[in-house]
Amino acid sequence: MVDDARGEVSLRVNGTAHRLEVDNRRTLLDALRDSIGHTGPKKGCDRGQCGACTVLVDGRRVVSCLMLAVAADGCEITTVEGLAGGGELSPIQQAFVRLDGFQCGYCTAGQLCSAVGMLAEHAAGWPSAVTADVSPDLAAPRLDAAEVRERMSGNLCRCGAYPSIVRAVLETAARGQVAG
């Protein structure tokens, strides 16, 4: 038995402040789903291997199944529920709908949050593993299908909706709607 095995956590989720008392073992994913009721982020593997649980923490995409809730104390979190604003789907969500970026939908919440984080990373000039030359003195790598596939490779889709996902991300990027 450990005497201080629980902790208090403050999270801002999609703009709303939450204060929770959690078992230190609770992951951010379980805290979001079971304590706060945001069931958008999905539990696919629970081991960091599928991306279904992807959310944005302080603006960056992470897998919430490997982040402890106590370690996220004080953070600003965006789940898929927070992407749409004022009742209107965000550009990336609209592109997924228009271009059939999903079939069963299980991976979709993670794909969407990942795409938002990924487009911001690209806009910030980050190279990827398929960028031919990582030199910062060249123009930022142009986003093409190969770049999108590599940058989104942390999100698996059991239904194989990849071609449409890549199209949806590329279309959103082309419209310059990086903020999702």
Partner 1 sequence: MKEFAYRRATGVRDALALVAADPGARYLAGGTNLVDLMKVEVEAPTRLVDVRHLPLGGVGEAPDGGLVIGATTTNSDAAADPRVRRRFPALSQAILAGASGQLRNMATVGGNLLQRTRCAYFADPAAPCNKRVPGSGCPAVAREHHNHAVLGWSEQCVATHASDMAVALAAFDAVVRYESPGGAGEIPLAEFYLPVGRTPHLETALPPGALITAVALPGAAASPRSRYRKVRERASYAFATVSVAASLDVHDGAVRDVRIALGGVASKPWRARVAESALRGGPATAERFRAAAAEELSAARPLRDNGYKVTLARNLIAAVLSELV
Ligand X SMILES: Cc1cc2nc3c(=O)[nH]c(=O)nc-3n(C[C@H](O)[C@H](O)[C@H](O)COP(=O)(O)OP(=O)(O)OC[C@H]3O[C@@H](n4cnc5c(N)ncnc54)[C@H](O)[C@@H]3O)c2cc1C
Rank residues 85 and 160 by Cβ distance to partner 1 and give the closer one: 160
Q: Any contact of residue 158 with ligand FES (CB under 6 A)?
A: yes
The mark string for 22-61 relative to partner 1 (x by CB under 8 A, - otherwise) is -xxx-x------------------xxx--x--x-----xx
- Say how many Å lie between the first and final Cα of the chain, rounded: 45
According to DSSP, the β-strands at 54-57 and 60-63 are antiparallel
Question: 16 vs 23, which CB is nearer to partner 1?
Answer: 23
Give which of 167, 119, 110 is closest to 141, Cα–Cα: 119
For residue 39, state whether it binds ligand FES (rule: CB under 6 A).
no
Residues from 38 through 67 that contact ligand X (CB under 6 A): 48-49
Q: Mask 51-90, x = binds ligand FES (CB under 6 A)?
A: xxx---------x-x-------------------------
Closest CA to 114 of 85, 158, 150, 70: 150
C-alpha 78/C-alpha 113 separation (Å) is: 8
The verdict on 43 binding ligand FES (CB under 6 A) reads yes
Q: Which two tokens mark 145?
A: 């299908």
The size of the interface with ligand FES (CB under 6 A), counted in residues, is 23
Residue 19 tokens, joined: 């204060």
How many CA atoms, within 13 angstroms, populate the side-chain half-sphere of residue 72?
A: 33
Output the smallest distance, CB 42 to ligand FES, in A: 7
Checking phi first, is residue 54 left (phi over 0); if not, alpha (psi -120 to 50) or beta? beta
Task: Write out the residues near partner 1 by the rule CB under 8 A.
Answer: 1-5, 7, 23-25, 27, 46-48, 51, 54, 60-63, 66-68, 70-71, 73, 114, 117-118, 121, 124-129, 131, 133-137, 149-155
